[in-house]
């Protein structure tokens, strides 16, 4: 089930007023839902000492949202300098931040070690020598290759650009020891939007057993394992949600068994993005045009610059037409934006109630990898973001982009020279 009934109840009655106040389109996020999901995660993993979620900043990189994460005690998973800056501005330091970059640049390494540093999660063995001041605490991203089959978004691990191979992993930690590392973590991320909880349990089993292997070889007792993000949400009404409770129970059992066998156990970290915020946001857009040609089109005032997933992955996002949630779906529409790309469609051949001029469409599950993925192609600017607070207040937490923003990178001090002259 996409967007929860509780979020709908909080939002839908107020939506015409919100749309009148701010104008459309906008993404709106639900503080209550985000907090409930966060608290639930903490509760179901409370049997694992030192469990911590590191919110994947890229999913919803907005300071007001990150503040909620910080208040819940979560850390941040960053992979770029702007994400590091944002996390640090909120007061996150050192081990509150996991820096999981790939194809990392010298500038990124230099930035990562500033301001108390962070947990450096290296994506490749060749990067060990490129870390300027090797930290005491180090982590590697592991790619199991043919030992695991992948899932749709990340793909087959053998084809994924991420991580060190099984054959390299012991050597990676050995080299890190040689550079002075004394504390160790192990990271992996082998799935994205995975709805089968057994896959994530298998991932926990995989990293725990890998720490045993590395310990045998090098005597390392790992401080933590990070099982990554990739916890899925059901975008389609007929999909069953991830059985997160059973997932937590079975992973806790693995940690208990590890402790019984080894006398100690690493902490468990995860870095969910989508699961934390995906269902707690939606994109609200207005129907502005109707076109009856080979198909029936509804043109809305948002386009793929606000939500790329349908165009990028042919992803399904459920749509409600406000005030017609229970009406018969006796029309078939393509719901389209105004970008000059034929994949600029929020829905293709979707059964919906009859839509009229100025109807508000609520496009579900835009709370993760939604606004953040937007772009400016075709001069289509990114919309505003709102936050529905627990007390019913609505706040603008990011303004819409303006034409001035669009031209900002073309207004600069001229710099030209003639090579060879």
Ligand X SMILES: *Cc1c(COP(=O)(O)O)cnc(C)c1O
* Contact call for residues 309 and 372 (beta carbons, < 8 A): no
| Residue 340 designated active-site | yes
Residue in 24, 64, 100, 254 binding ligand X, rule: CB under 6 A:
100
Cβ burial, residue 314 (10 Å; 0-12/13-18/19+): exposed
Residue in 70, 148, 274, 371 binding ligand X, rule: CB under 6 A:
274
Q: Give the residue with the Cβ less far from ligand X, 59 or 387.
A: 59
Q: Give the residue with the Cβ less far from ligand X, 272 or 285.
A: 272
Compute the distance between CA of residue 397 and CA of residue 374 in angstroms, rounded to an integer. Answer: 16
Applying CB under 6 A, the site for ligand X has a residue count of 18
Residue 227 touching ligand X (CB under 6 A): no
Residue 228 touching ligand X (CB under 6 A): yes
Residue 203 touching ligand X (CB under 6 A): no
Quick one: angle between helices 197-218 and 166-178, nearest 10? 50
**Contact code string over 181-200 relative to ligand X, x by CB under 6 A:** --------x--xx-------
Residue 233 touching ligand X (CB under 6 A): no
Residue 272 touching ligand X (CB under 6 A): yes
Residue 119 touching ligand X (CB under 6 A): no
Residue 231 touching ligand X (CB under 6 A): yes
Residue 86 touching ligand X (CB under 6 A): no
Q: Minimal distance in Å, beta carbon 411 to ligand X?
A: 33
Compute the distance between CA of residue 151 and CA of residue 129 in angstroms, rounded to an integer. Answer: 32
Long-range contacts of 255-261 (CB under 8 A, 24+ apart): 255/47, 255/48, 255/204, 255/208, 256/47, 258/208
38 Cβ contact partners less than 8 Å away, ≥ 6 residues apart: 53, 68, 69, 72, 74, 276
Residue 118 touching ligand X (CB under 6 A): no
Q: Minimal distance in Å, beta carbon 128 to ligand X?
A: 19
Phi-psi category of residue 348: left, alpha or beta, with phi > 0 → left and psi -120 to 50 → alpha: beta
Residue 368 touching ligand X (CB under 6 A): yes
* Contact call for residues 216 and 177 (beta carbons, < 8 A): no
Catalytic residue set: 340
Question: Can you give the binding site for ligand X, defined by CB under 6 A?
Answer: 56, 58-59, 77, 100, 189, 192-193, 228-231, 271-275, 368
């Amino acid at each position: 089930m996409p967007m929860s009934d509780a979020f709908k109840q909080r939002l839908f009655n107020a939506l015409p007023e919100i749309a009148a106040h701010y104008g459309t389109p906008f993404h709106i996020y639900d503080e209550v839902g985000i907090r409930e999901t966060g608290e639930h995660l903490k509760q179901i993993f409370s049997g694992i000492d030192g469990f911590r979620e590191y919110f994947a900043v890229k999913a919803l990189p907005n300071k007001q949202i990150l503040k909620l994460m910080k208040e819940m005690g979560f850390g941040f998973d960053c992979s770029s300098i702007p994400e590091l800056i944002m996390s640090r501005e909120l007061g996150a330091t050192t081990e509150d931040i996991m820096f999981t970059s790939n194809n990392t640049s010298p500038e990124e390494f230099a930035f990562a070690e500033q301001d108390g540093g962070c947990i450096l999660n290296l994506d490749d063995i060749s990067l060990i020598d490129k870390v300027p001041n090797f930290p005491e605490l180090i982590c590697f991203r592991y790619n199991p290759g043919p030992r695991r089959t992948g899932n749709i978004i990340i793909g087959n691990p053998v084809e994924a650009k991420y991580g060190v191979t099984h054959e390299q992993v012991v050597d990676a930690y050995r080299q890190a020891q040689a550079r002075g590392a004394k504390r160790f973590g192990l990271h992996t991320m082998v799935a994205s939007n995975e709805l089968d909880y057994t896959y994530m349990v298998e991932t926990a089993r995989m990293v725990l057993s890998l720490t045993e292997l590395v310990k045998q070889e090098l005597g390392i007792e790992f401080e933590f394992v990070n099982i990554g993000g990739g916890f899925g949400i059901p975008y389609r009404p007929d999909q069953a949600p991830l059985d997160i409770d059973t997932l937590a129970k079975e992973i806790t059992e693995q940690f208990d068994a590890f402790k019984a066998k080894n006398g100690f156990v690493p902490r468990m970290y995860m870095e969910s993005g989508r699961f934390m915020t995906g269902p707690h946001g939606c994109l609200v857009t207005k129907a502005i045009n109707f076109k009856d040609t080979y198909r029936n089109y509804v043109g809305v005032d948002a386009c793929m610059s606000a939500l790329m997933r349908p165009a990028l992955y042919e992803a399904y996002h459920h749509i409600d037409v406000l005030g017609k949630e229970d009406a018969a779906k006796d029309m078939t529409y393509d719901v389209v934006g105004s970008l000059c790309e034929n994949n600029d469609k929020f829905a293709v051949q979707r059964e919906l109630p009859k839509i009229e001029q100025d109807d508000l469409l609520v496009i579900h599950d835009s709370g993760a990898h939604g606004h953040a993925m937007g772009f400016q192609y075709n001069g289509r600017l990114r919309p505003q973001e709102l936050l529905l607070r627990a007390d019913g207040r609505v706040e603008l937490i990011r303004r819409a982009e303006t034409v001035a923003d669009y031209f900002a990178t073309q207004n600069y001090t001229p710099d030209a020279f003639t090579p060879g002259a």
